[in-house]
Structure 1
């Protein structure tokens, strides 16, 4: 289901979003540190469960753990579905699995929003969703991505995708009983035609994939990087203060070397003439 709409509050300053000349360097540093938002929909997960179009109960399970992917066709309403999934999982409890949902099962809309809304896009979309549709943000899985940008009007074309939580509730309970852990919910008609979003994120853009299930080593690396940034900042401040102090001392030394000021002599001569 598709719905197009236009939402145009007052436009903000484009400069807040275009970034400075340091933006490429910051982006590269973010990528090297692993803090860039990953394309979870493109990552080959160990197991992928594909849901059919609305009205069908067919499930397609793709197992990527071997050299050759294996495909299983199951029935979502089968009584032994949890046992079948556990058999596919094998002896590895807690195996990550992602769900691929057909776009026909989702509510999809395209909105034109001001670029200034980008830092708080999730809140803007949740508020607009509840105002314009019968959906409530707590009752859906949702995510969004930017399709395009209009530089002249400082607006973004945003694709917003939501899915009712009730649609996945039975399957999520089955995954839990089968010892599988949900890692992502992607949207696409096929594995190679998915949208750049993850409905499980609910539109959050915090520190993504690098910290999803991060171990102690990853967290230590992030902490070390942050510590180096703090040390570099403090060192820069200390260097600036030392430079300013050196300039002050040099200025005072130059004044002392120039001798006493001639201003008192001029004042005394003027007083003598007036007398």
Structure 2
């Protein structure tokens, strides 16, 4: 059998998607086709190339050497296309078009939504597409144009600005602690606590609770910061919260000043190829200024209980 002079690009993508999905079922879902279509296309491709691209194991499809080369080439193709798209986006002149922004749920709900809404009024030709994701999306592949993240270690591949420091402090329901000025921190460790779940075990505040509070006193765990705020507001127990979230709930009272070792930077980031695009530049300037204006709240310097 004579090998083809050129293999269609879609076939390289097929191999990469099967490899990433470790099987035909997942690949079919990604491609939006049925299982039999993926099976048929892979069989035809292997017959045409006269080589096996995958080994079939009980744990899934594993690339052969030839398959690895095709998948790697497909990855490079995707990167080249993404780079070309970024360069085109960076050449835009008027602040118009779609802008995809990724952030997490707690930042969106308690800080960013009013800022985003004001931005759309100021720039009606720009359409925002907000993607909630607690994991970092790949801005190099245009999963998003701008990322707004709470982190102390932003990716070196991105550019941007640290616009504020997110302060955290210990909070409780006001009904449970009527006089926060009389609180003894040591006594607090024997009370009921709320903590973040194992998925956020790496956060400084989660480690602090694990190191200082006995397991039997941690009566409630939840895997989001939003859920943590709701639990403390519902009097499940006391616990740490970002000051910009707790400060918006009059039922919560701060038990101690913000701890510097709990804090994290608030970054607004983009890819270097996009930073001069008109819509990205307009968004960065607008959002940076709006967040800087709210630094006292974000950094815990406006506590009405005067514990700072």
Q: Fold conserved (TM > 0.5)?
A: no
TM-score (norm 2): 0.21
